[in-house]
Every structure is written in structure tokens, then in C-alpha cells.
Structure 1
């Protein structure tokens, strides 16, 4: 049934209220990328604080979002930074959230929140996200999955009434948050829902990305709550170690500080003897393993196979893929295409297949698409959105699941 919302002017307490204008059919709507993955706006220069984003101490029926006692197990997020306690009290905020209705092998639903420290640049006055992160995971019940789906769908319908659509829109800052007339209302309702369904009670996993040397050295690790409700560090899949590092010491023309980067001379700190040989991408990312001439091209082509497996949730997941391979796949592909531009259109069988080409635009429109020094899956690089291709593909899988179930 076509619903047309017209301009209605009414006098309420002496004020004129303007309603949104939009004609749309709910029957033609379906779940899309930005309906399951939400990237928030970080504050503009004019903002005095971070109140529009969720803080660790935000409280709901399930407790605080990120209890300090659990967060304290995370190593220093930024080696030369203000310190984890300062970040917790002042700077750490949720910059993105994902709803996965069928997250594990058992198809258990969950919310995932992405936290980054955000500071005001003393020189420019701009708010900037630091190149470090904490991810928190909240398990939902099947009943809660239905409730969350209903709430998000209602929010989607309301957005449509304001002329905001997610159909065919690439994953980026949520379109509703870019609508000046509707952004605050949308943001408030979304945050209210998150604190209602997430908290210490159903928090079961915490992962982190440390920044040890800006633009050069990152470390990944995590903690899980066991059956005795104790938090323990867990081994990174495939490598048998509690943490995994990425180094990129490639030389950049000019400063390499806070630049996306084009140079690549990278290595992972842990690569055990039983690591699958076909998944070793060093002949792309490491200068010493490359030929550094035209003979690299066929080798790069062959290594697109593991790169695309790393980016394809149909082949790999957090239980069978190590952090570095997942987070550096886009950088490896970009460097290859930069060396040999004709590889931009080269595809392999392992590449993710768009489950709904008519409605899903899987194009990466963020700065992370062309960078060798951005290892972020979802969030911000300084003040620009940064999303990797795997997150886009996973969002498509989640949206498809909701459309088919």
C-alpha cells in the first residue's frame, strides 16, 4: 500500500511543526548494508564534547556497556598516548556498531561495537580518532534477535518517511546521520536501543588493536568470558599466539605520519611452521620476498586467491583466520593493483559474490580502499571513514540473512 506523508502544519504550544514529505512502499523495502552496520559521525570542529557518541559507562538494563574491570585487561591502546584510563574516562567512544543476526557456526545473534579514542587536535581544533580500537561483542537470544530486527526495521521505515534510503547505498556513515533534519532523532533512537540490548550481562568477548608505532606497527589480541564467567586471553586462530603484530616499514615520500600510505614493506611477527603455505602473502607485502620487477605480476595474481578468501566470509571467519591476514588483505590488494594497474579488474574464484546485485552496492567508498597503512576493519582513520572490504561483504551476508529468514 502506498503511503504518502504530506506536509502538515499544526500549531502545538504556539509552534509550527513541519512533518517530512515522502512517498514510498514498505513492500518494496528490504534489508541493506547500512541497515545492519552503522557508522556514526564523529563530532565536527564546533562540538565541545563527545556527548553524541556512547561512552563506556553508558548504562542500560544489562549494565554498563564496557565495564572498567574488563577494559583494564587491555594493554595500552596507544604506546605514546594519554593512557588507557584517560581514554576510558574521557575519549573512548563507540564509532560504529554491527548487528549480526547469525554470527557463529551455531547462528547466534550478536551486536559488535567498535570503540576508538577520539581527541581534539590542539592545532586544528578538529576531533580526530586515534589509530587504535577496542571491539566489544554482545550475545543476543533468539527472542532478542527478533526484537532487535523489529526495532531496526521500524527505524528504517521511519527513515524512509524522511526521505532517507539505504537501498543501493554503499556502506559508509549512515545516510540518516547525514540528514540535518533527522540525524539527531535517528541517533538518539539507535543509541537508546543499543544500551537496552547491550551491557556487561551479555558481553562475552573483547578484542583490541594497539598502535605501537604510528603508521608502522599494530598489535591485535583479545579476551573471552569462559563458562566460569572469568575473562581470559585467547589464542589468535592459526598462529597459536595470544597476540599478532603487523609491521610496515616501507619508505614513504614525505612524512608517513597519519597518511594512508602507498609504500609497503610489511611482515607479520608470528608465522608458525604449520601455517598454510598457500596463504602466505609475503611475496606481495614484503620487499625482501618480492622480485620487485615485472616477474612479480603472475605471483601477485596467484596470491589474489588467499587475499580474496581472507575477504570472503563464505570461506573464512574469526575462528579460522588470523587477525593480520584479515586486516591487511585490502592493503595487499591495493599495493598489487598500484604496481600493476591491469590487475584492478582481475578476479579469482574465491572472490565474494554479491548476493543481491540489484540492491547491494559493495563498492568501498572509504579511504581504506587505497592505503597500505590503514589496517582498520570499521571506524575512522583520523577524521575519515575507514572500512575494509570484508566488513562490507559481511554486512551483505547479514542483510541477506534477514531478507531470507
Structure 2
């Protein structure tokens, strides 16, 4: 532990010119580049240990659902699971407000493997949530402000400086030490999981609060039971079938229309008028807006599907006035809200922040949340 702290303090000298560097979106939601080798020792793994203990113990991890169908959780935990992204969240809330802010860091984990073409990822993920009291978060944020990606106007993307320096450079060495100083089993309060089954046609979302060191299944908003499955049976973007099982329990017709679209987009387009489509898309913009919804008011599947439905709308209704039509419900910010990963236009891409294979995958919801974080932290 003494060694870790010493490394952290010495690396801090690299950024000591200014206590407050110029921070941008990429310094609050940090998407790491994939390493050159899957076993790169610079990556953070579940057994990486710092002042708060291991980041994710086997005992805790074994309490969740099977993450990848062909491998036991122990093998995934031991050999493949790596941190691919980091998110700063100074005001996590669940449910209808006003509610007090909970100060957190979230680590995004995916199985990182090698195939014939190099390093890639599996379509599965774990998010681990580490929570801080006010005093500890103040110290953490002071240290965090020494980080800088370079340009504050950049859109969210693979971290530009990490992409240039790699995982052996000063930015990652500093951030890695910072995370190990502040995150671990001692302040791990939740894990959420997304796993894929049935030949990548069934995604299961689940969540687990950590109670007395053990995972306890949590209820997902708007659905009965503890898991929410999504199926897709066509990979042609112009038309797809599938759905959400169970469907969210909602009252509004536009929420129901969203569920109908995810079930059968061809039938939806035939059955719904353009006015109804716009009402449904307004609901999608609300799903993507952190000022309208939070993890306590929106189920996991609807949140992850919103990005795909938004893209489907843009592809099928190009004549809509997308800049002005949805102003009343769309998230607004002076930060750059462009989506740099829109090249992935596939209904089976439900990743919110991480990698789809070896391609970066960023949802509009994550971009908007990051901009909201920037509004609250960066003056």
C-alpha cells in the first residue's frame, strides 16, 4: 500500500504546474484505448489492490449472473475482465426528486480477449459503483483536477491523450494510481451487469446492491422481477424484430409505442402516423436526457435501446427537422454533444460506454450525462 501511495504522489508532480488543469468531457467519462495485448499488466483487473482493497473480489463477482455463456464466472474474473472505461459521477440520484447527491466513481468492465486480428472485447459488461462521503470526494476531486486530455471542446471519444500515450504513459499511470487510492471493496456499493446469450440475440440486464459484502439482487424500475431481457432477431438496420421481456409498466402511449417499435419496427412504421412517431421520438429524447430521467425512473433496457431507436428514427425519417422538432425535451448544453461512435448503426449494438468488439460504442445518454457532470464540476 505504501508503494502505491508513493507512486501516486510522485506522478502528481507531472501535473503540478497547475492544480486545476483544463478539463473536458473526456476527463470525466474516460474511455480507455484497447491495449496491444489482452494481458497487458498496465490494465486494471479485479485483483488490482489499493488502499480500499481489491477492486472486485471473486466472492462479490461470483454472486452475479453468468456473464458469458461458454465460460464460468471464475475464468472470466481471473483471465479476461478488465476496466475499459471510468466515469466520474458527483451527483448520482435514483427516483423522483429532489434527492441528495451521492458521490461516486463508476468502473466499466468487459472481457478483453485476443483473436486472430488482435485484441477485442466480448459483448458483456459489469459496472462497479464506488461511493464517497463529502470530505473524501473533495480530496478525490482535487486530485482529479490535475488530469487533462488537452482540448476542452472535444466530443466524447476514446481518450485522446490515452490514445496517444498508451497505457504506459503518464496520464494513465496517474489515473490508475488515483483509482487504486480511492476505489475498492471497502466502498463498493453496487454492480450492474449486461450479458448476452443465445448467439448474441438475448441481452439480460441485472443489478446487485452490495450488502454486508455480498451481492443482493435489486429491483429494476418499471419492470416486474429483477432482470430485463431484450431480444433482437434481425440485424438489418432498416427493419428489426425483437422486443423487451417483460415490457415496462408505463401509462403513456408514447412509452408503449417505444415498446412496439422495439418489437417490430416494420409493423410499427406501417401502423403509426408521423405525428405518433414524433411523440414516440420525443419520449426517446426524454430517455436520453439526464434532467428528465435517472436510474430510479427508467429501466435498463429502455435506456440502452434509446440510442438504437434514435438512430433508427434518423435513418427512416430524414425529412424531420431534427434540430428543432424535439427542442422541448432534448438535453441542452454548451458542451460538445456530438456522438463520435455513430458509425455503429446496428440494432444488436446496445453498449452504452465501452466497446462493441474492437469499436468504441458511446450512447447519447452517456454523452448527455457527462455534459451534466461537467456543468456541475467545471466552472
What TM-score do you get using the length of structure 2 for normalisation?
Answer: 0.87
SS state at 2:92 partner: coil
Question: Kindly tell me: are residues 87 and 315 of structure 1, through their superposed partners in 2, closer, same or farther at Cα, counting changes over 3 Å?
Answer: same
TM-superposed CA distance for 1:391, in Å, is: 0.5
Partner of 1:352: 331
Question: Kindly tell me: are residues 368 and 73 of structure 1, through their superposed partners in 2, closer, same or farther at Cα, counting changes over 3 Å?
Answer: farther
TM-superposed CA distance for 1:274, in Å, is: 5.0
Question: Kindly tell me: are residues 246 and 291 of structure 1, through their superposed partners in 2, closer, same or farther at Cα, counting changes over 3 Å?
Answer: closer
TM-superposed CA distance for 1:371, in Å, is: 2.9
Within 5 Å, give how 1:49-60 maps onto structure 2.
49-60=39-50
User: Gapped runs of 5+ residues in structure 2?
Assistant: 1-13, 94-98
For 1:185 and 1:106, how far apart are their aligned partners in 2? 35
Question: Kindly tell me: are residues 240 and 94 of structure 1, through their superposed partners in 2, closer, same or farther at Cα, counting changes over 3 Å?
Answer: same
Within 5 Å, give how 1:116-155 maps onto structure 2.
116-121=110-115, 123-124=116-117, 126-155=118-147
The structure with more radius of gyration: 1
Q: What's the CA shift string for 1:308-357, capped at 9, x where partnerless?
A: 11100001001111001100001011112211212344424111011xx2
Partner of 1:244: 228
Q: Does 1:341 align with 2:318?
A: yes
From 229, 250, 254, the equivalent of 1:278 is: 254
For 1:32 and 1:110, how far apart are their aligned partners in 2? 18
TM-superposed CA distance for 1:294, in Å, is: 8.7
For 1:203 and 1:120, how far apart are their aligned partners in 2? 29
Q: What's the CA shift string for 1:248-283, capped at 9, x where partnerless?
A: 11253xxxxxxxx55421310012555544322034
From 152, 170, 189, the equivalent of 1:167 is: 152
Within 5 Å, give how 1:153-192 maps onto structure 2.
153-156=145-148, 164-180=149-165, 184-192=169-177
Question: Kindly tell me: are residues 381 and 251 of structure 1, through their superposed partners in 2, closer, same or farther at Cα, counting changes over 3 Å?
Answer: closer
Within 5 Å, give how 1:185-224 maps onto structure 2.
185-224=170-209
Would the aligned equivalents of 1:31 and 1:402 in 2 still touch at CA under 8 Å?
no
SS state at 2:41 partner: coil
Partner of 2:240: 264
User: Which segment is superposed worse, 176-185 or 315-324?
Assistant: 176-185
Partner of 2:358: 383
For 2:238 and 2:150, how far apart are their aligned partners in 1? 35
Question: Kindly tell me: are residues 299 and 278 of structure 1, through their superposed partners in 2, closer, same or farther at Cα, counting changes over 3 Å?
Answer: closer
Within 5 Å, give how 1:306-321 maps onto structure 2.
306-321=283-298
Q: What's the CA shift string for 1:170-217, capped at 9, x where partnerless?
A: 111111112248961111111111011000000000110011134421
For 2:165 and 2:126, how far apart are their aligned partners in 1? 29
TM-superposed CA distance for 1:290, in Å, is: 3.0
Partner of 2:215: 231
SS state at 1:232 partner: strand
The size of the alignment, in residue pairs, is: 356
For 2:269 and 2:289, how far apart are their aligned partners in 1? 28
For 1:368 and 1:209, how far apart are their aligned partners in 2? 22
SS state at 2:67 partner: coil
For 1:179 and 1:274, how far apart are their aligned partners in 2? 46
User: Which segment is superposed worse, 266-275 or 30-39?
Assistant: 266-275
User: Which segment is superposed worse, 51-60 or 180-189?
Assistant: 180-189
Would the aligned equivalents of 2:27 and 2:147 in 1 still touch at CA under 8 Å?
no
User: Which segment is superposed worse, 70-79 or 56-65?
Assistant: 70-79
For 2:78 and 2:214, how far apart are their aligned partners in 1? 24
What TM-score do you get using the length of structure 1 for normalisation?
Answer: 0.82
Would the aligned equivalents of 1:176 and 1:183 in 2 still touch at CA under 8 Å?
no
For 2:247 and 2:39, how far apart are their aligned partners in 1? 43
SS state at 2:189 partner: strand
Partner of 1:103: 92
Q: Does 1:394 align with 2:369?
A: yes
Superposition CA RMSD, Å? 2.5
From 300, 303, 309, the equivalent of 1:332 is: 309
Question: Kindly tell me: are residues 211 and 72 of structure 1, through their superposed partners in 2, closer, same or farther at Cα, counting changes over 3 Å?
Answer: same
Would the aligned equivalents of 1:282 and 1:289 in 2 still touch at CA under 8 Å?
no
Would the aligned equivalents of 1:238 and 1:275 in 2 still touch at CA under 8 Å?
no
